[in-house]
Structure 1
Amino acid sequence: MSATRVFAARLVGCAVFDPVGDRVGRVRDVLVVYRRNDSPRVVGFVVEVPGRRRIFLSIGRVTSIGSGQIITTGLINLRRFEQRGGEVRIIAEMLGRVVTFTDGSGQATIEDVAIEQNPRGEWEVRELFLRRPKVGASPFAKGHTVFAAWADVAEQSRKGESQSASQLLATFEDLLPADLANALLDLPEARMLEVAEELSDERLADVLEEMPESEQVDILAHLEDDRAADVLDQMQPDDAADLIAQLSEERGEALLDLMQPEEAEDVRMLLAYAPDTAGGLMTTEPVIVSSDTTVAEALALIRRQDLAPALGAAVCVTLPPYEPPTGRLLGMVHFQQMLRYPPMERLGTLIDQKLDPVRADTSAAEVSRILASYDLVSVPVVDENHRLVGVVTIDDVLDYLLPDDWRSHDEDEPAKLLRADTSPLDIITTGKKPGRRNTNGEHLAPTSH
């Protein structure tokens, strides 16, 4: 059973297992990032694997913490751990720090840190185990211990010490990825690259997805290949494919070789499609279930915090296998439809019989018309054998339809984006996406409508 509150020091040495019970390694530290006006958020663990090599285990890959062990999803990046800017190791860096009580009652030293899962499913620092200075001259005397919430203490900084990377990034912690991307774009280029370098892989991936492609390329060009591949692993496959398409053939192939095989396989598949087709717009990570899946099980799947809202609006029902390309697509079941039936109802009885999938070579214009005509937020994409290969969501289409420079327009002047009398077809043909490469490395120019 997963605990909701655990002390970091007690996690050190805990075994890490994959879903089938094989031991992956042992925990050596807990990584957090500071946040402005909030307690630090846990981003993952430093895990020692056989060979005394240390790797990073993202908190998103952890399904259970407790009973002296940690269970993972089984998808672990085995590259050697390198601490990123903004990341703080609880055992190596936080324990032993001196803090001051905000109520003026003096100072204390951090001896342990309690991490706890909040209602949003995030793990964060909630409480500190502290020891106050000893009282009396006896060499055996020890200060008494107390518990304190993170908000009740302040860390001490040395006089003249410059602001740490952790404190700098904490000012951006509350920003949504799109807002953080805009904040970075407002910085001088050198400063933008410096801050981007300090972001965690997951955070940088989210930010890159919200940036114009020219800035994406600039930032990726300043990252080492291993780090760039880690960031691409964290991006949505369609966004990663768009970005890799802008790189030179040599670097693109090098990064694909360094990426996790499953992620690279999805990206390579997307690179084979022209950008103005359903295959070029789709994402390869929809929620896929069998017809025997119950409403309760499906609702649990779309409740995942890391799932985009558009992907959570419906689930795809297929025959096995359940990874794209799947077995034959049976249909989709919409979120609202699930809410109307009891928890144990099977999804096979709730499939939307009126919604037809599109082929991977269907034009972006046709996909847009289908989404608009039937008030959909997503449509499934199949190959010639009616196997599910992905879904096109409304945000994929909007990103395609809007002009390339839409992010740079003044939010107070929306009329500059589109005229009121602009026809849907004109909007569609204004969308510009750079050509991708096919699997042979040849560039694919966008086709005309």
Structure 2
Amino acid sequence: MDGSLRLAELVGRPLLGRHEEAVGRLSDVIVRLRGQEHPLVTGVVGRLGRRREVFLPVTQVARWGTDHVALTSGRMDVRAFDRREGEVLLRADVLGHRLVDVREAEFVRAYDVLLEPVGDGWAVTRVLTRRRRGGPWRRRAGGGREEGWRDWKSVEPLIGHLPTVAGRRVLGRLGRLRPAGLADLLEEANRAESQEILGAVGADPELEADVFEELEPDARARLFRDWPDGQVAAVLGRMGADDAADAIGGLPQERRRPVLDALGAKQRLRVLTLLGFHPSSAGGLMSLDVLTAPADRTAEQALRSVRDAHSLQPEALSSLFVTAEGNRLTGVVPLVALVQAAPSHPLGDLADTDPVRVGPDTDVEDVALLMTDHNLLVVPVVGDADEILGVITVDDVLEVIVPRDWRQRARAPHPSPRPDASRTEPHTPPASP
């Protein structure tokens, strides 16, 4: 058969030898992943009798067809098929399984695969998928399903074959996703899917920490449940202290102390400080990473400090806090004021000397109202002597006051600068009934 082939038309078809003698049936098609390129077909799995499966190299396939697959010879190695590292079985691993749509950061289910000739061989070019309209966020709204063909390059398969997974401990197309998108996938994934996604994400420890910061508490606790204390502590050590404190609070009581003891001394002290405040208070919500400077520091020097503050959240850098002896808060300078000021201008002349501030026991809802009233992106948390303890950013507040089920809501369509040609139906004959 010339042109493209649909996997569903091939599976189960007779395998005929050189003299058209029946030697078995096609059970599966084997491809090898090639990073960002379309996977090449390397062979097929033939079924002899009811159970025995054997390997046939693609070079032994003389012609593909929807009625039968012709072989160059009826001779074959009758040893039982032994899958090798890096091999993907299209029927066993892809058909009926969920893939990751890396553009939409959601799961889709594969219902067919398109094979097309490339050079001297064949490659997987497209996959027929079905997904809920609006994605997993429409679960409670009923949703519906959309079906269409898309380029294989736009999805990431979750193979499940342990040697292949171990050999793919690189991010691949999952590396295009932001931490929040990966967190969304993990929250919907089953156990096997979670393990494979985490295996890929774990190749980048910093990304892994960012993903765990984005996870809902229940999902994070579920994933940590099967991890040893040292592995949990390694991830928490790379997270912000406020997020790490939240994560430890979500662990079973008997695991909290062992995980704390496994943390580095600096992170352990920061986490213990935050755990001393009520979770719904300003102290429990604040981040300990604050950019401060004395009043005699110049705008140029302050901007240099901002550029060097790589470990701080970008949201926390929207303002610089002016402090005096004892880390006492004396003023705040918005970042835009620093950028617009003359380089030699001292911070003391640029600062608002009566900044809005909250105490560590302030209720988080009061913090939200205060930030709304004053249009603040960040608010400092101070102690009894006005010493600055930490800061609360607007995204920290939103995570607390937005309803917990916000992810269930329908999200806006993903903007696209041009029509997505990969979702059009390929010109292939209809599948055989």
Cα contact 2:183–2:215 (8 A) shared by 1: yes
For residues 35 and 238 of structure 1, the distance between their equivalents in structure 2, rounded to whole angstroms, comes to 37
User: Residues 342 and 409 of structure 1: is their aligned pair in 2 closer, same or farther, counting only changes over 3 Å?
Assistant: same
Distance 1:205 1:315 in 2: 26
* Whole-angstrom distance in 2 between the partners of 1:368 and 1:295: 30
3-state SS, counterpart of residue 411 of structure 1:
coil
Q: Please state which structure has a larger fraction of its residues in helix.
A: 2
Q: 1:311 aligns to what?
A: 316
2:56 match: none
Is residue 269 of structure 2 the alignment partner of residue 265 of structure 1?
A: yes
Q: Distance in 2 between matches of 1:273 and 1:287?
A: 22
1:283 aligns with 2:287: yes
Q: Secondary structure at the match of 1:353?
A: coil
Work out the CA distance in 1 between the residues paired with 2:315 and 2:219: 26
Structure 1 residues 312 and 35: alpha-carbon distance in aligned structure 2, compared to 1, 3 A threshold = farther
User: Is residue 330–residue 353 contact of structure 2 (8 Å, CA) maintained in 1?
Assistant: no
User: 1:294 pairs with 285, 295, 298, which one?
Assistant: 298
Kindly tell me: are residues 289 and 175 of structure 1, through their superposed partners in 2, closer, same or farther at Cα, counting changes over 3 Å?
same
Q: Does 1:178 align with 2:180?
A: yes
Q: Is the 8 A contact 1:287 1:312 kept in 2?
A: yes
Alpha-carbon deviation of 1:172? 1.2
- Residue-by-residue CA offset, 1:341-378 (whole Å, 9 max, x unaligned): 11222222221124231111111122111111111100
RMSD: 2.6
Contact 2:169–2:199 (CA<8 Å) still a contact in 1? no
The question of 1:223 aligning with 2:227 is answered yes
* Residue deviations 1:319-346 (CA, integer Å, cap 9, x gap): 35xxxxx621122111011122112222
In structure 1, distance between residues paired with 2:168 and 2:286: 36
CA distance in 1, matches of 2:247, 2:389: 20
The question of 1:338 aligning with 2:338 is answered yes
Answer yes or no: is the 8 Å Cα contact 1:313–1:377 preserved in 2.
Answer: yes
Distance 1:248 1:167, change over 3 A: closer
Q: CA deviation at 1:238?
A: 1.2
Q: Distance in 2 between matches of 1:380 and 1:305?
A: 20
Secondary structure (helix, strand or coil) at the match of 1:362 reads coil
Aligned to 1:347: 347
Alpha-carbon spacing, 1:302–1:388, altered in 2? closer, same or farther (3 Å): same
1 or 2 for the larger relative contact order (CA 8 Å, sep ≥6)?
2
- What is the TM-score normalised by the length of structure 2? 0.54
Q: Distance in 2 between matches of 1:387 and 1:305?
A: 24
Alpha-carbon distance between aligned partners in 1 of 2:288 and 2:167, rounded to the nearest angstrom: 35
**Alignment partner of 1:391 is 2:391:** yes
Q: How does 1:50-129 map to 2 (within 5 A)?
A: none
Unaligned runs of 5+ in 1: 1-33, 38-160, 321-325, 414-449
User: Structure 1 residues 301 and 187 mapped into 2: Cα distance closer, same or farther (>3 Å)?
Assistant: same
Partner secondary structure for residue 186 of structure 2: helix
Alignment-derived partner of residue 53 in structure 1:
none
> Between Structure 1 and Structure 2, how many residues are aligned?
253
Distance 1:284 1:177 in 2: 22
Residue 296 of structure 2 contacts residue 346 of structure 2 at CA under 8 Å; is this kept in 1? yes
- State whether structure 2 residue 367 is matched by structure 1 residue 362: no
Deviation per residue, 1:5-42 (Å, 9 max, x gap): xxxxxxxxxxxxxxxxxxxxxxxxxxxxx9969xxxxx
Q: For the residues of structure 2 that align with 1:284 and 1:352, how far apart are their CA atoms?
A: 22
Give the distance between the partners of 1:208 and 1:407, measured in 2 at CA.
Answer: 16
Q: Which residue pairs with 1:195 in the alignment?
A: 197
Q: Which amino acid aligns with 2:298?
A: T
Q: What is the DSSP-based 3-state SS (H/G/I as helix, E as strand, rest coil) of the residue aligned with 2:381?
A: strand
**Paired residue type of 1:277:** S
CA gap 1:410/1:176 in 2 versus in 1, 3 angstroms: same
- TM-superposed CA distance for 1:165, in Å, is 4.3
